[in-house]
Structure 1
């Protein structure tokens, strides 16, 4: 289930040459992850009802071109891997058809600060897409 989040690149997100600063790609990816959960049927805060939270375990970015002031970035998010206690999302940050950056982030389900299996209901929802 690709979920898309988009926003214009703001002046505050750029350096003096009008190029988006690299840390903002993670912010945009986080926004897309939130949209991905909602599209999967898990709105913000719903995981708490199942007694779990999730945390970033690892993330990697690979840039191929720059987003610039005035561009509109779009971020596609899709499930790349679903493990017992973790899931990995693949995110593509683009301007139109031009890919700017790819992001892979692995999240771990936790309860009480320890990894736990994703609840069956969550697994079904995120796998359905």
Structure 2
């Protein structure tokens, strides 16, 4: 099962890198969202995927008798989901505001565009 998830994680990372290297801001934002999901899935897979054995320690034992899933990565992922959602929401609002000001969603055109009514930046550095 871990091999399937490893292939899926690699696919997510490849798609996210491809989208982040795009020129359109919307594609960049989607790439960042997919990258966050790939990292969460990587952390989840590193904590072992077992459904057969619950992570319960019997009263007479000090440690679990069989290999169990680690609950710490699952707790870290819950925190990371909240943080990545707020980060994505901030980037979405920032991109929308930049589109309103500059009138383009192309990253290369945003570098040379200036808001309407502002003077052009000084040239000749």
Report the TM-score when normalising by structure 1. 0.27
Structure number with higher helix proportion: 2
Report the TM-score when normalising by structure 2. 0.27
Q: Which has the higher contact order (CA 8 A, sep 6+)?
A: 1
Specify the structure having the higher radius of gyration (Cα): 2
